[in-house]
Structures are given as structure tokens and as C-alpha cells.
Amino acid sequence: MTDYGDADKYVNDESIEMAWAIKAGERSEVHMNLIMRCDTRVLRLNKHQDAILAAFRSSFPDLNVEEVTTSLLKDGGAKETWREFCEQFKDIVDDYSMGTLMRIHASKAYSPENTVVVPRIIYLAIEMARNVEGVNEKNKEAYTAHRNSLASL
């Protein structure tokens, strides 16, 4: 294991954080464009989609992907269950733990109020389930209304 020295000597680099935020924003915009322009029930977000979905529904069989709040991700032992889920993909999915923006409410577009940062594998699992289970497809009209209301602000 590599020793990176004293963690107290590290500082946050605002330019790196800004670059991440810009890239995350661009990815969320691409994601919404994909949702709006194709039949999401057949959209594949990763080459390991079948394995990710199977593991997700095995670990979280009753999770309603319509709304995934911070409390569903962290409270009552959920954090440990999610960690175990994520670690299954450590050697399979590139950047599986990279911080990624995810929509909380499936009926709304990305916005500061409707976004949470999660590991990439959680984003993939939730959005894949939303696609395959028809949640994103049925919400296209709601996305358009939400985006239009944000644009008018």
C-alpha cells in the first residue's frame, strides 16, 4: 500500500474542484439529452449493465428508483449495504467510485435541489434501473416541464 504522507498537509485545490464540477455538469447535460432523445428502456449506459442491474436488484429488491434520497443512501445501515454493492465492481467498472451527479427525483431534471453526489456505480445502477423499468420513459413530459421552469428563473 502506498503511503501518501500526512493527510493534514493536503489542501483542497479549487481549480481541481472547479474542473470536476464543470465536467460533472457536462455529463449531466449529456445524460438528460440522451434521456430525451431515445427510448430509454433500451438505452445501455455501460457494457456491464446486465451484471450491474442484477446485483443492484439483488441488494435492493424493493428500492423505488423514482426517488432516491440521501437518507436512502446513508441511513439505517444503508451506507454499509451500498458500500458492499459498490465494491463488487471495483475491478470491473472503470472509475466505479468516482463522484458523479445523480438526480434525486426521477421526474425532475438535474438542478442544485435535485442532485446528490454518489459513486459512479450507484449512479449507473439507479439510472439503469430507471431506464429498464420505464421510469425515465414515463417522465419525459415532466422533465420538459421542469427544465422549462428552471430556464424561466
Is the pLDDT at 6 greater than 70? The verdict is: no
**Per-residue confidence at 146, pLDDT binned at 50, 70, 90?**
low
Is the pLDDT at 37 greater than 60? The verdict is: yes
Q: Which three cell numbers stand for residue 93?
A: 467498472
Going from the N-terminus, what domains does the chain have, and what CATH number goes with each?
13-152 (1.10.3560.10)
Say which range, 23-27, 50-54, 88-92, has the weakest mean pLDDT.
23-27
**Per-residue confidence at 25, pLDDT binned at 50, 70, 90?**
confident
Is the pLDDT at 144 greater than 80? The verdict is: no
AA identity, residue 135: V
**64-77 residue pLDDT tens:** 999 999 999 988 88
Please state, in angstroms and rounded to a whole number, the distance separating the CA atoms of residues 77 and 58.
Answer: 16
| Residue-level pLDDT at 11 | 66
SS3 track for 119-133: EHHHHHHHHHHHHHC
Average per-residue pLDDT in the chain? Answer: 88
CB of 23 closer than 8 Å to CB of 106: no
Is the pLDDT at 104 greater than 70? The verdict is: yes
CB of 54 closer than 8 Å to CB of 48: no
Q: What is the average pLDDT across 21-32?
A: 86
Where is mean pLDDT largest: 25-29, 38-42, 46-50, 94-98?
46-50
